[in-house]
Structure 1
């Protein structure tokens, strides 16, 4: 099962490394990880996406909660949340494919951020399904390079 873990942590060196070690020690692969400051510069929000059984994820979250730098931790898998990811994709382009690729960008509301003689670079932010959809549809044109931020997420509502 996919799990999205959101943790408020003290903003100090080594937090990301120690957190990922907890997943390694429990033999859980991290599929996405992002971390950045919150509205309080002394606190960062870390969002970790991983696949594992409920039992395995429960073990790793227990290990994380025991770490002195963790302020609050939530497994968002069973909660309503908003998620976003940013992707930059450089795709091959030629005179025959240009109009079709531009139509795809328009449908996905993706922004062109760079152009070369043989490639075009596009930026898209959205939920993982939208990002995956754009990647899938651009693959036949030839993706030259790609960079993804990893997912960020917040619980919906007032909590």
Structure 2
């Protein structure tokens, strides 16, 4: 099972290590993690996409809530949320297929951020399905390297 957890934590050294240790205790795999400051520079938001058994993830969530530096934990799988991910992809560029590549970029609203003699680098922001769609489309052209930011997410509405 894949679940998304959002946690607000105090900005201090070692918090991320403490949190990830909890996932290891219960043999849950962190598939994606993104962290950054919130509107309050003393607090960071961590968005963690985790794969594991439902009972284990519930136990981890409760353990996180009990940690001193954790301000709040939300299991976003049980709420509506908006998510985004940034991906940068370096693709082999064949002069004969450049037009086709540009059409793919246009369809996915990906932006060219760099060009070399043999490669072209694009960036795109979207939900994970859209990011995966772009990756699948570009795989046939030859992906040289890729970097994904990990999912960021916020609850929908006024909560």
Q: Specify the TM-score bucket, using the shorter chain as the normaliser.
A: over 0.9
Q: Which runs of 5 or more structure 1 residues have no equivalent in the other structure?
A: none
> Which residue is 1:120 aligned to?
120
- The CA distance in 2 between the partners of 1:65 and 1:156, in whole Å, is 21
Match of 1:53? 53
Question: Normalising to structure 2: TM-score of the pair?
Answer: 0.98
The structure 1 segments of at least 4 consecutive aligned residues displaced by more than 4 Å after TM superposition are none
Question: Unpaired segments of 5 or more residues in structure 2?
Answer: none
> Once the 2 structures are TM-superposed, how far is the Cα of residue 53 of structure 1 from its aligned partner?
2.2
1:100-119 equivalences under 5 Å are 100-119=100-119
Aligned position for 1:21: 21
RMSD of equivalent CA atoms: 0.6
How far apart in 2 are the matches of 1:3 and 1:134?
23
Say if 2:27 and 2:52, in contact at 8 Å, map to a contact too: no
Q: Deviations over 1:24-83 (max 9, x none)?
A: 011000000010000000000000001122211111111111110000000101210000
Structure 2 contact 28–53 (Cα < 8 Å) conserved: no
TM-score computed with the length of structure 1 as normaliser: 0.98
The within-5 A match list for 1:140-159 is: 140-159=140-159
The 2-side partners of 1:79 and 1:64 are apart by 18
Number of positions where the alignment pairs a residue of Structure 1 with one of Structure 2: 159
